[in-house]
Structure 1
Amino acid sequence: MAVKQCSWDGCDSFAAYGTRTKPAWCDEHITEILRRGGLEPLEPFASSTGFRLTRCLACGCEAHYRFVYTLDKNRDQEPTCRACHWAKWTATALRFGAELVGADIVDDEHARLVAESHGYDYLGAAPIPPAYRVRCRYCGRITADRLGDIGWGCSCQVNPRRPASVQGQPEQAFDPVPRLNPELVEQWHPTLNDPLRVTTISPNSKRRVHWRDPVCGHGWVATPADREKRPRLRCPECRTILDSLAWHHPDLAAQWSKDNPLSAWHVRPSGSLTFTPEWVCPKDATHRWRMAATARVQGSTCPMCRESGKSMVELRYFEALRTEFGEAFSGLAVRNPAFKRRTVWVPDVTVHLASGRTLMVEYDGGYWHAAKAGVDLDKSQDLLAAGALVVRLRESPLASLGISSGDYLELTVSPSAPAPERAVAAIREWLVSAGEHTPAP
């Protein structure tokens, strides 16, 4: 593959690896990208998809990561280190669990048992549980993960899960892989089930064994077979459930609002709910919105931070509105019983005025809204019926929607010469004349 120039702005060096369509960087800037992801390299760079030993700059945990993995995490503005990630997960669990047992979540010997039974060498707990450092006996890769994730074994292609021999050692030298659900493996009590082993018990076993939930700290006795029966409770006392949103997506659980009637441990990622969950933006706690859990799992992010799907012209008008009013929200979904055309609308910009009224601004591009006059009219009328002040910025040559209301303002803007400051000045004058806005001194 042809050698490429480093994609870092202003760098004249050649990239350390080749690629046809994606950006590539030189070794110096690969190190800088790793530092932005919270890591420092401990090994020379080999390839973008190969594992490289690194040290976390925040907690000091050493583990292997692919460079492309750091690129993905940087794009999501999330630290690469999984030990730090699960430490944050623990903080979320503390928020939801009333009786968390703190740093002693899982006994060290129990963690060693789970790691060694899955072909790992146990390296000890990460700085903050529930992450534990393990080294794969087959590929040598060091990772920091929860016990439930360790229970799946290493993903390396040379790990057959039950090898005939490993480095001259016979198969019986290794415990068999547990057949239990990994979430149940994590709840296996570390001391009260001796001499019974989690690696030998069947998922259909009717033997009563001890369990302990690492989140709430509650303990109880039940058979593995009963654990998988409806309602598939994670903890019978807290009534949390197995395969919950919090278990599968701890990053989303951290954004789950306390005002929701159920916790993230009580709902499943794809389950139907009687309410639309509220979420809190991890970047700005004032950003709160309602969205189905299935949409979040599929990748939907904070609508007020998201810039994708918005043209540069729309973003310029949004910034001008935010400068004028101090706080403006982009893409905030609105529900109101006064809506007759739809149950939910998503205005381009929402501003909560000091007067108590809500200002909603729509930008109608000439190309995309050429055949949407009916939808634009329905949306405006529903927003007005809900008591909002509505402004539509319609590019020339779009025709007027013909709405006659004291709470409605329609301005014609130029697609070729955007003037957001002029439009915002007109909106300010309109609000001041209506007594809805006090101009800054």
Structure 2
Amino acid sequence: MEPFAKPTAWRLTRCLTCGCEAHYRFEYTVSKNAENEATCRACYWRQWAQDERRRHGAYADLTPVPVADAKERADRHGYDYLAALTNPSYRDDPHHVRCRYCGRLAAERMGDIAFGCRCQTNPGRARQTPNPPGQKQRALLKDSRLPVLAWWDHGANDLAQWESVTVVARREAAWRCPDCGLRFTARVHDMIHRAKCPTCEPNRHVEWEAEYERYQVTPVSEVRELLAAWADDEDPRTVTVAKLGPLRQFRCPRGHHPRISPYTYLRSGCPSCRSQETRAARLETEAAIPAPFRISPEIASQWHPSRNGRISLAKLSPKSRRTVWWQDPGCGHEWQDTPEQRDKGQRLRCPECRTILDSLAFHFPDLAAEWSPVNPLSAWHVRPSGQTAFVPTWVCTADPTHVWQAPLASRAVGSGCPECREHGKSQIELDHHAAAERAFGKASSGQAVRHDAFLRRSVWHVDITVELSGGRKLAVEYDGSYWHADKADVDEEKSRDLLAAEYLVARLREHPLPALSIDDPGYAEFTVHSTVPDPDCVIERVKRWASEH
């Protein structure tokens, strides 16, 4: 029902079997086709629910779901309730709902509605900004400190491989067994999960089988370690180490009395001691983290100051399922929830205001101060590394007349006000911008322009932008003879896109750059000379030309 955009885009569809309208990604449809499964979730869940009721027979729950209950749950989790997709509607039957935030139509079961729409998912990230351009966040094997590093064959693998291979790589690499010295090749991914030598592994298995066979006929009384810990009523001379039978009682040096098989105790020791060692290691790791920050600092800052009694925030784990009181210091709203649930799914900062954790406002308050009030969401509702359905508008704190659009990712990695920024702009361009401000009263420099009519790029950065009377806009481009000597094709594409967006386009081309092959009444070229620049005169000529068009 909607045109195809890209495989990952949501498209509105109508099921050819039941007529249910819903949004699906094209790649999802392809996946379901490969599995010979219906794409339509209304059809799929109806059949699934029928099969479940048939499987339970007389024990199936045939209590109808009241429409009021379905509506209440949908409303509570951000959906507009449209209709039940079965009549009567039983447990596990699908319902037709629409996300209140993104408008996506879906067929969801009651339990799935409680998870909310995917557009509201707010994944936790240790890194709140995108990776620098051209770089990819990678967990390098050489930095992992994994035991498998002792197996790496530096002689057979080149230095480039050592410097670039990651812990999730599935390519082949050369390894050297630290025990027998055998050289062999294996996938990195396989070696990380279980490092094994083609020679030693079979030998160890043979040795283990021989040992196990020997212990199947060896009484406990002949094994010193087992006999010293034996605390069972049975005579150790009549019980073999590895023969299947009832569990036996032992007493470890620390006083624990585990009931365990003799062979397991011999191989692994006391299970209570092992668990204590694991717990001690975990506590040692946690001790290095300041107590108030074991839970996320942002969540910890919302700990209710008076309603949690003797419960200590310092003793709560991030995975705790204990329900406690929270309060947002900004809006003052109070609610109850567990630390574990607070850091899952939508990860809301305030469930009533629907602000989110790890937002732009929390991590980058300076950027949040430049967030324009014309944006449909506040800086507390967007992540610095997230994507929005709109291009955010920003207002410069140094000069409120500077207003521009830029995506969240570019701001989070350091881009600032394009008009205040002088880096990347030549002095001659700055001089012409200053002349444009004198001539027109107001002019923008380096503004990012987006328009649906653009065919070559999604965004162009214009040297000088001026808003003319009548709502039209003027784009002035300065083309230096050195930097634009081999960019005629790019200059032409940029000009055509701006013309398609109904801009007047004036290009100031330094002598001896040739003219571009553009024939349009809204386009003009002005020859300038770098040796004798006269910005005020040139901009005045541009202004007269613009007034005639």
Deviation per residue, 1:119-175 (Å, 9 max, x gap):
xxxxxxxxxxxxxxxxxxxxxxxxxxxxxxxxxxxxxxxxx9969xxxxxxxxxxx9
User: Whole-Å Cα distance in 2 between the matches of residues 383 and 216 of structure 1?
Assistant: 44
Match of 2:395 in 1: 280
Match of 1:349 in 2: 464
Match of 1:243 in 2: 358
Match of 1:365 in 2: 480
Residue 223 (structure 1) aligned with residue 338 (structure 2): yes
Q: In 2, are the aligned partners of 1:203 and 1:224 still within 8 Å (CA)?
A: yes
Match of 2:301 in 1: 186
Match of 1:48 in 2: none
Match of 1:425 in 2: 540
Q: Report the CA distance between 1:284 and its aligned residue.
A: 2.4
Amino acid in structure 2 at the alignment position of 1:217 = G
Match of 2:228 in 1: none
Match of 1:25 in 2: none
User: Whole-Å Cα distance in 2 between the matches of residues 191 and 377 of structure 1?
Assistant: 66
Match of 1:214 in 2: 329
Match of 2:25 in 1: none
Residue 256 (structure 1) aligned with residue 397 (structure 2): no
* Segments of 4+ moved more than 4 angstroms: 160-163, 175-178
User: Whole-Å Cα distance in 1 between the matches of residues 295 and 539 of structure 2?
Assistant: 61
Match of 1:67 in 2: none
* 1:379 corresponds to which of 488, 494, 497: 494
Q: Report the CA distance between 1:212 and its aligned residue.
A: 0.3
Match of 1:44 in 2: none
User: Whole-Å Cα distance in 1 between the matches of residues 448 and 293 of structure 2?
Assistant: 45
| Secondary structure of the corresponding residue to residue 294 of structure 2 | coil
User: Whole-Å Cα distance in 2 between the matches of residues 176 and 296 of structure 1?
Assistant: 33
Match of 2:425 in 1: 310
| Secondary structure of the corresponding residue to residue 315 of structure 2 | coil
Deviation per residue, 1:306-341 (Å, 9 max, x gap):
211100111111111111111000011112222222
Unaligned runs of 5+ in 2: 1-284
User: Whole-Å Cα distance in 2 between the matches of residues 273 and 380 of structure 1?
Assistant: 28
User: Whole-Å Cα distance in 2 between the matches of residues 333 and 228 of structure 1?
Assistant: 36
User: Whole-Å Cα distance in 2 between the matches of residues 357 and 333 of structure 1?
Assistant: 17
Match of 1:266 in 2: 381
User: Whole-Å Cα distance in 2 between the matches of residues 294 and 349 of structure 1?
Assistant: 24
Taking structure 1 as the reference length, the TM-score comes to 0.57
Q: Report the CA distance between 1:217 and its aligned residue.
A: 0.6
Match of 1:334 in 2: 449
* 1:408 corresponds to which of 502, 523, 535: 523
Q: Report the CA distance between 1:287 and its aligned residue.
A: 2.0
Number of residue-to-residue matches in the alignment: 264
Q: How does 1:37-186 map to 2 (within 5 A)?
A: 176-186=291-301
Q: In 2, are the aligned partners of 1:178 and 1:200 still within 8 Å (CA)?
A: no
- Name the CA shift for 1:176/1:339 in 2 (closer, same or farther; >3 Å): closer
User: Whole-Å Cα distance in 2 between the matches of residues 388 and 231 of structure 1?
Assistant: 42
Deviation per residue, 1:30-71 (Å, 9 max, x gap):
xxxxxxxxxxxxxxxxxxxxxxxxxxxxxxxxxxxxxxxxxx
Amino acid in structure 2 at the alignment position of 1:357 = R
Q: In 1, are the aligned partners of 2:372 and 2:393 still within 8 Å (CA)?
A: yes
Residue 196 (structure 1) aligned with residue 311 (structure 2): yes
| Secondary structure of the corresponding residue to residue 508 of structure 2 | strand
Q: Report the CA distance between 1:367 and its aligned residue.
A: 0.9
Amino acid in structure 2 at the alignment position of 1:225 = E
Q: In 1, are the aligned partners of 2:393 and 2:406 still within 8 Å (CA)?
A: yes
Q: In 2, are the aligned partners of 1:322 and 1:328 still within 8 Å (CA)?
A: yes
User: Whole-Å Cα distance in 2 between the matches of residues 285 and 366 of structure 1?
Assistant: 34
Q: In 2, are the aligned partners of 1:178 and 1:201 still within 8 Å (CA)?
A: no
| Secondary structure of the corresponding residue to residue 348 of structure 1 | strand
Residue 325 (structure 1) aligned with residue 436 (structure 2): no
User: Whole-Å Cα distance in 2 between the matches of residues 336 and 179 of structure 1?
Assistant: 46
Deviation per residue, 1:246-277 (Å, 9 max, x gap):
11011111111222222111111111222211
Q: In 2, are the aligned partners of 1:350 and 1:359 still within 8 Å (CA)?
A: yes
Q: Report the CA distance between 1:215 and its aligned residue.
A: 1.2
| Secondary structure of the corresponding residue to residue 350 of structure 1 | strand
Amino acid in structure 1 at the alignment position of 2:483 = W
User: Whole-Å Cα distance in 1 between the matches of residues 537 and 359 of structure 2?
Assistant: 50
Name whichever structure is richer in helix by fraction. 2
Amino acid in structure 2 at the alignment position of 1:226 = Q
Match of 1:294 in 2: 409
Amino acid in structure 2 at the alignment position of 1:313 = I
Q: In 2, are the aligned partners of 1:161 and 1:177 still within 8 Å (CA)?
A: no
Q: In 2, are the aligned partners of 1:212 and 1:220 still within 8 Å (CA)?
A: yes
Match of 1:392 in 2: 507
Amino acid in structure 1 at the alignment position of 2:400 = A
Deviation per residue, 1:78-119 (Å, 9 max, x gap):
xxxxxxxxxxxxxxxxxxxxxxxxxxxxxxxxxxxxxxxxxx
Q: In 2, are the aligned partners of 1:320 and 1:424 still within 8 Å (CA)?
A: yes
* 2:348 corresponds to which of 233, 236, 258: 233
Q: In 1, are the aligned partners of 2:474 and 2:546 still within 8 Å (CA)?
A: no
Amino acid in structure 2 at the alignment position of 1:332 = Q
| Secondary structure of the corresponding residue to residue 329 of structure 2 | coil
User: Whole-Å Cα distance in 2 between the matches of residues 272 and 356 of structure 1?
Assistant: 30
Taking structure 2 as the reference length, the TM-score comes to 0.46
Amino acid in structure 2 at the alignment position of 1:342 = R
Q: In 2, are the aligned partners of 1:162 and 1:177 still within 8 Å (CA)?
A: no
Deviation per residue, 1:345-370 (Å, 9 max, x gap):
11100011124321110000111101
| Secondary structure of the corresponding residue to residue 391 of structure 1 | strand
Amino acid in structure 2 at the alignment position of 1:293 = L
Amino acid in structure 2 at the alignment position of 1:206 = R
Deviation per residue, 1:378-432 (Å, 9 max, x gap):
1111111221111100011110103222222211111222111221232233234
Amino acid in structure 1 at the alignment position of 2:378 = S
User: Whole-Å Cα distance in 2 between the matches of residues 372 and 236 of structure 1?
Assistant: 52
| Secondary structure of the corresponding residue to residue 524 of structure 2 | strand
Q: In 1, are the aligned partners of 2:286 and 2:294 still within 8 Å (CA)?
A: no
Amino acid in structure 1 at the alignment position of 2:360 = L
Amino acid in structure 2 at the alignment position of 1:220 = W
Amino acid in structure 1 at the alignment position of 2:331 = C
| Secondary structure of the corresponding residue to residue 301 of structure 2 | helix
User: Whole-Å Cα distance in 2 between the matches of residues 232 and 427 of structure 1?
Assistant: 53
